[in-house]
Structure 1
Amino acid sequence: MDPVIIVGAGPVGLTLALALARQQVPSIVLDEGVGKEEPRPARTVVLREDTTALLERLTGVALAEQGVRWAGWRSVRRKQVMSEITFAETGTAPLHIAQHVLTDLLRGAIAMEPLVETAVESRLDAIEQERSGITARTRGPKGTWWRGSYLVGCDGARSTVRKLQDIRFPGRTAVERYAVAALRTELPWEGHALLHRTPPWRSSGPSAGEVTARPLPDGVWRLDWLLPPGKELVTPEILLARIHETLTGWTDNATPVYELLDTGVHTVHHRLARRWRAGRVFLAGDAAHLLGALGTQGLDEGLRDADNLAWKLATAWHHGPHEALLDSYQTERRALVSARLRAADQALPVLRGGGGLRHIVPGAARNQDTLLTDGHLGRGPLGAPGTYADSPLAPPRLEGEIPVGTPPGAPVTDVRVTAEDGSFVRLRDRLGRGALLVVLIAPGTGVWDRKHWMSAGVMPRLAAAVAALPNPAELLVAESYPGAPAHSVLLVRPDGHLVTALSGVRPADLYAAAEATVGGAAQAGEAEQEEREGDGQEEKKAAAEAGSGTR
């Protein structure tokens, strides 16, 4: 088959290319630029635990060495500390990194990947779809026609792909505006991020606003000042005055020495594309959605788009068209981002509507702080990784289904597992390979003789059931999993979301769940479809024979 065409060489497009390559799918990345990111210290991203793990898995780089994991979080209103959080050394702290650093890391990994071709100075000009594939035309010094199996627009808010497909992009403009500065200085809370609302050195009223300080490597901080509604022009003099008064206020009237590295104005828009799929064309990242008010992170959602779409494209690329599976990308991701936007839009009047609410609702200021903290830290409806509870890929109610600590559709907990070669690995390290994961919960397996563990206990029966599944799957064993009883079996999607948990080895249930997870059988020509249906009956029969005992 032809490669997947990816339009846009930002973090989302590069992540998608790497994710496809890990699943043995070639791609072509069309880059409008010259293949190099301009350093902008004031343009940074905050990554949550799940998206950090995704990028580290794809690049092989420990991102904490390139950015800063927050040691803690502090929220202050005027002079009162509203909340203070210290992050334990568990990897759950948000990671703050300059976007050009992240992009360069992804480009470095792409350069080592033979399945990814990058075409620089290639601006998309036209798209032509047909039954067997898709063709894209680019203009520029290297303008040409490109042939692909699918095309994904990761080309940002002004997406050419979206416009060529005539997809509407409704929403709200300038929901919030921030003046931004990156500077090197010393602040009293090393390694801690700070949200300061209504600082005492600012006058009261709508212009009092808030300021956020987030650490970067080498003593650099990014400061964001919320601007009042309207189109206030942020001149260099105004920005320098903000820097001076803020640093003076934080350091008890002794302005520390600082080096100003970069400035800018960041405007937050809230928009959601009507469609994320048009035949063989898909949208991801800012081309599909814009969000970012109240501390939420749009790039996080774009990376989750790439993770969700990659394994579905890989399945269709390797095993034939799976229309229901490909359709589920829009259904799952658009619904989740839409809910995130609704939550932010509902919270905005409460958080930005002035101070009157505090006199009406007791504790309202603290409730507001909780909402903002959730957005900044990636928690709650504003920021937590989403759950595909109503996914069209969810299996029907299964006889052997049981509840565990992770609800169906939610991201699984990262636990230590034993792989088929007997090695100990993290569950998260086995994601993104295109295979479903089947995890047996078996206490005490840590002391097994790993040379012979595949022949122990229920393993032979479970291994036979896994081998009979309609899609590739990897068998793993964990000593424990939150809320899971001994001998339960978890089925996990390639993007790390739980499909179901079963009470014991139940081959028929496992097969049904796996088949639902990939959207049913692949579509094919009539003769090929009949042959596959016959093979499917044989596989189901083999699965049933493999599990003559269900527990």
Structure 2
Amino acid sequence: MTESEVIVVGAGPTGLALSLALARYGVPSLVLDNGDGEVTARAARTCVLRPDTAAWLPSAPGAAVPAARWTSWRARRRRQTIHQKELDETTAPFHVEQHALERALRAALAQEKLARVMPGSHLDILEQDAAGVTAHTRPRARDGGDGHGGGTWWRGSYLVGCDGARSTVRKLLGVPFAGRTAVERHAVAALRTRLPWESEALLDRDLDGGMREVTARPLPGGVWRLDWLLPARGDLVTPEALLDRVHSTLAHWNRESGAGSSGKGAAGGDPDAAASGPYELLDTGVHTSHQRLARRWRVGRAFLAGDAAHLVGALGVQSVDEGLRDAANLAWKLALVWHEMGGVRGPHVDRDAVDVVLDSYESERRGAVGSRLRAVDQALPLVRREGGGLRAILPGGGARTPLELLTDGHLGQGLLGSPAAYRSSSLAPARGTVDSVGVATQPGELVRDVPVIALDGERGRLRERLCGNGGELLVVLVAPGTGVWDSRHWLSAGIMPELAAAVGALPLKAELLVTEDYPGAAPHTVLVIRPDGHLVTALPAPRIAQLRACADALRGGPFTRARSPASRDARR
């Protein structure tokens, strides 16, 4: 048992990704897995990840995540295309099977010395004190235990509950989980077939046979996921009824394209089954979307993330993607505090500043998800009832049609899907302390992905340096023309020596990168970027004192010796 480990409860995508990010930051973690360590394959259980989220997922041999990327998104009504959006490398989302994502994360964790996963560990006791967290797990009854006796005690520095919608951590912390149930309900089928289009995702409304809405989204290996909108609270969907939907939908598309031949399920003289064409049904299910938000995401040294903290999913909003954003936001903050408290910079730790850093996780992520849920609540009746007035009810959304709003949710764009901007973050430099200049990205927003060059000459993309792959702070100099020269020629030229020395002297582990161009940035602009990819500010050329002010702000303020026990205790 290592008392300095961060305990992660739950081995779903959020928990595994958090543990992986912590390992990349040099922080040991223990994942308590309530399951048996095996990942159950469910082809109908998939997730859509925005490009910036997918950029930091495992890509090494044996740990790569197989994914399909769509060339376009098409929304139709009564066979007429109403809205179509072409996609490219910067906008096309990644569609992956969740079991493939979990297996890839487990494979990546197996290669990390600072991470370990303990299967068969059901949490039943959680205690905290000023120095750390104590957790008790008991073996599950189905693993041979009686579910009560025995068990193991674990000690860690912090604990994060990533244990899903029925989170034990949330219940042990006594955190309310308010919201609405069964906001949307879909019948789901995963099947291997050929559709009249390739690599294109489709949302079809008002099909023949009374089907109000169906989406078709490609997966790797010729597999498609089909979702049919159901009444929010209706009858159970029988296997026979779901097969009827498969046959009717495929027959509709095949007749429209002039294709179709007899295939599986054609027995009994059903014309739709005959016209549906050949297909292999892999998996089916019913997916219900809830809207819930935990009242608190931090209680002392314990945190909530993923479905334990929020339930989203209506109108195409992606729950796994939001959970991975929780992990990206929390990992670097836990790592920063862990290194401060662990002795690397321990003698000068200000516990008030530590609390500012840790509290910012809840204020940023809970605020972002809360805004998303409010936007969905406002849009839901309009989208489903084809109502008007979207401009007035959705401030900043513009005059969006219902199908355009659905596109935003499914593609991770616009009001219902775009990445959060932490414009009011407590970790931003105080107003008036830095001379910001304008670029295409506003402070608090996610930075664009651009080619970068490291000081050792290594070339890559900016997103590749995020979420533990770079430092605790990224400093990017916009320097046109550097791409054509070897790094040794410009390392000692112009402002580079002064800037490199300043970055090396920062109170954080910072990495200096160079890019030839950034949208809206003038030459010699310095971008200061958080490790989760959100812009702190853009400075005009090197402003050494202001660069230090940005680093101090990310640490919760200039770290000094603890001020007073009373002020510290007030935040606990």
Structures share fold, TM-score greater than 0.5:
yes
> Is 1:231 paired with 2:266?
no
> Is 1:383 paired with 2:417?
yes
1:357 shift after superposition? 8.7
Query: Partner amino acid for 2:532?
Result: D
> Is 1:352 paired with 2:384?
yes
Q: What residue is the counterpart of 1:78 in the other structure?
A: 78
> Is 1:485 paired with 2:492?
no
CA, structure 1 residues 229+424, in 2 after alignment: closer, same or farther (shift >3 Å)?
A: closer
- What are structure 2's unaligned runs of at least 5 residues? 140-144, 256-271, 342-350, 565-572
Residue of structure 2 aligned with 1:262, choices 273, 283, 302: 283
Q: What residue is the counterpart of 1:331 in the other structure?
A: 363
Q: What residue is the counterpart of 2:269 in the other structure?
A: none
Residue of structure 2 aligned with 1:271, choices 269, 292, 306: 292
Whether the 8 Å contact between 2:186 and 2:286 is mirrored in structure 1 is: yes
Q: Deviations over 1:163-202 (max 9, x none)?
A: 0000000000000001111111111011111101111x13
Whether the 8 Å contact between 1:70 and 1:193 is mirrored in structure 2 is: yes
Question: Hey, what's the Cα distance between the residues in 2 that align with 1:59 and 1:386?
Answer: 31
CA, structure 1 residues 356+457, in 2 after alignment: closer, same or farther (shift >3 Å)?
A: closer
Q: What residue is the counterpart of 1:341 in the other structure?
A: 373
CA, structure 1 residues 493+251, in 2 after alignment: closer, same or farther (shift >3 Å)?
A: same
Question: Hey, what's the Cα distance between the residues in 2 that align with 1:526 and 1:497?
Answer: 30
CA, structure 1 residues 365+431, in 2 after alignment: closer, same or farther (shift >3 Å)?
A: closer
Q: Percent identity?
A: 60
1:57 shift after superposition? 6.1
> Is 1:220 paired with 2:254?
no
Q: What residue is the counterpart of 1:396 in the other structure?
A: 430
Q: What residue is the counterpart of 1:167 in the other structure?
A: 175
Q: What residue is the counterpart of 1:128 in the other structure?
A: 127
Question: Hey, what's the Cα distance between the residues in 2 that align with 1:474 and 1:356?
Answer: 49
Whether the 8 Å contact between 1:422 and 1:453 is mirrored in structure 2 is: no
Q: What residue is the counterpart of 2:268 in the other structure?
A: none
Q: Secondary structure at the match of 1:125?
A: strand
Q: What residue is the counterpart of 1:147 in the other structure?
A: 155
Residue of structure 1 aligned with 2:554, choices 509, 514, 517: 517
Count of aligned pairs between the two proteins: 515
Residue of structure 2 aligned with 1:405, choices 429, 437, 440: 440
Q: What residue is the counterpart of 1:181 in the other structure?
A: 189
Q: What residue is the counterpart of 1:541 in the other structure?
A: none
Q: Secondary structure at the match of 1:126?
A: strand
Query: Partner amino acid for 1:234?
Result: V
Question: Hey, what's the Cα distance between the residues in 2 that align with 1:357 and 1:438?
Answer: 43
CA, structure 1 residues 178+368, in 2 after alignment: closer, same or farther (shift >3 Å)?
A: same
Question: Hey, what's the Cα distance between the residues in 1 that align with 2:463 and 2:61?
Answer: 14
Q: What residue is the counterpart of 1:106 in the other structure?
A: 105
Q: Please provide the CA RMSD for this pair.
A: 2.1
Question: Hey, what's the Cα distance between the residues in 1 that align with 2:80 and 2:399?
Answer: 11
CA, structure 1 residues 423+217, in 2 after alignment: closer, same or farther (shift >3 Å)?
A: closer
1:112 shift after superposition? 1.2
1:55 shift after superposition? 1.0
Question: Hey, what's the Cα distance between the residues in 1 that align with 2:108 and 2:22?
Answer: 13
Query: Partner amino acid for 2:458?
Result: S
> Is 1:429 paired with 2:429?
no
1:308 shift after superposition? 0.3
Question: Hey, what's the Cα distance between the residues in 2 that align with 1:375 and 1:58?
Answer: 30
Question: Hey, what's the Cα distance between the residues in 1 that align with 2:282 and 2:462?
Answer: 40
Q: For 1:190-339, what aligned pairs fall within 5 Å after superposition? A: 190-199=198-207, 201-203=208-210, 208-252=211-255, 254-320=275-341, 321=351, 322-339=354-371
Q: What residue is the counterpart of 2:49 in the other structure?
A: 47
Query: Partner amino acid for 2:209?
Result: R
1:409 shift after superposition? 0.5
1:78 shift after superposition? 1.2
Q: What residue is the counterpart of 2:261 in the other structure?
A: none
Normalising by structure 1, we get a TM-score of 0.90
Query: Partner amino acid for 2:506?
Result: L
1:62 shift after superposition? 4.8
Q: Secondary structure at the match of 1:18?
A: helix
Moved beyond 3 Å, runs of 4+? 56-63, 354-358, 521-527
Whether the 8 Å contact between 1:209 and 1:228 is mirrored in structure 2 is: no
Query: Partner amino acid for 1:82?
Result: I
Q: Secondary structure at the match of 2:518?
A: coil
Query: Partner amino acid for 2:309?
Result: A
Q: For 1:62-77, what aligned pairs fall within 5 Å after superposition? A: 62-63=64-65, 66-77=66-77
Whether the 8 Å contact between 2:201 and 2:216 is mirrored in structure 1 is: yes
Normalising by structure 2, we get a TM-score of 0.87
Query: Partner amino acid for 1:139?
Result: R
Q: Deviations over 1:427-477 (max 9, x none)?
A: 112212342011111111123342243211111111222122221211111
Query: Partner amino acid for 1:305?
Result: D
Whether the 8 Å contact between 2:455 and 2:487 is mirrored in structure 1 is: no
Whether the 8 Å contact between 2:478 and 2:517 is mirrored in structure 1 is: yes
Question: Hey, what's the Cα distance between the residues in 2 that align with 1:449 and 1:365?
Answer: 49
Query: Partner amino acid for 1:67?
Result: A
- What are structure 1's unaligned runs of at least 5 residues? 528-551
CA, structure 1 residues 355+423, in 2 after alignment: closer, same or farther (shift >3 Å)?
A: closer
Whether the 8 Å contact between 1:57 and 1:429 is mirrored in structure 2 is: no
Whether the 8 Å contact between 2:63 and 2:103 is mirrored in structure 1 is: no
Whether the 8 Å contact between 2:386 and 2:402 is mirrored in structure 1 is: no
Whether the 8 Å contact between 2:526 and 2:541 is mirrored in structure 1 is: yes
Query: Partner amino acid for 2:285?
Result: G
Q: What residue is the counterpart of 1:38 in the other structure?
A: 40
Q: Deviations over 1:135-154 (max 9, x none)?
A: 00000058200000000000
Q: What residue is the counterpart of 1:545 in the other structure?
A: none
Question: Hey, what's the Cα distance between the residues in 1 that align with 2:505 and 2:221?
Answer: 53
> Is 1:502 paired with 2:502?
no
Question: Hey, what's the Cα distance between the residues in 2 that align with 1:422 and 1:357?
Answer: 53
Question: Hey, what's the Cα distance between the residues in 1 that align with 2:389 and 2:116?
Answer: 55
Query: Partner amino acid for 2:120?
Result: E
Q: Deviations over 1:234-284 (max 9, x none)?
A: 011111111111111111173211111111110000000000000000000
Whether the 8 Å contact between 1:162 and 1:283 is mirrored in structure 2 is: yes
Whether the 8 Å contact between 1:31 and 1:121 is mirrored in structure 2 is: yes
Q: Deviations over 1:466-520 (max 9, x none)?
A: 1222212111111111111011111100111100001111111111111112211
Q: Deviations over 1:275-328 (max 9, x none)?
A: 000000000000000000011101100000000000000000001251100100
1:353 shift after superposition? 2.4
CA, structure 1 residues 214+382, in 2 after alignment: closer, same or farther (shift >3 Å)?
A: same
CA, structure 1 residues 525+58, in 2 after alignment: closer, same or farther (shift >3 Å)?
A: farther
Question: Hey, what's the Cα distance between the residues in 2 that align with 1:44 and 1:317?
Answer: 34
Query: Partner amino acid for 1:385?
Result: P
Question: Hey, what's the Cα distance between the residues in 2 that align with 1:51 and 1:298?
Answer: 12
Q: What residue is the counterpart of 1:544 in the other structure?
A: none
Whether the 8 Å contact between 1:309 and 1:329 is mirrored in structure 2 is: yes
Whether the 8 Å contact between 1:175 and 1:293 is mirrored in structure 2 is: yes
1:524 shift after superposition? 5.2
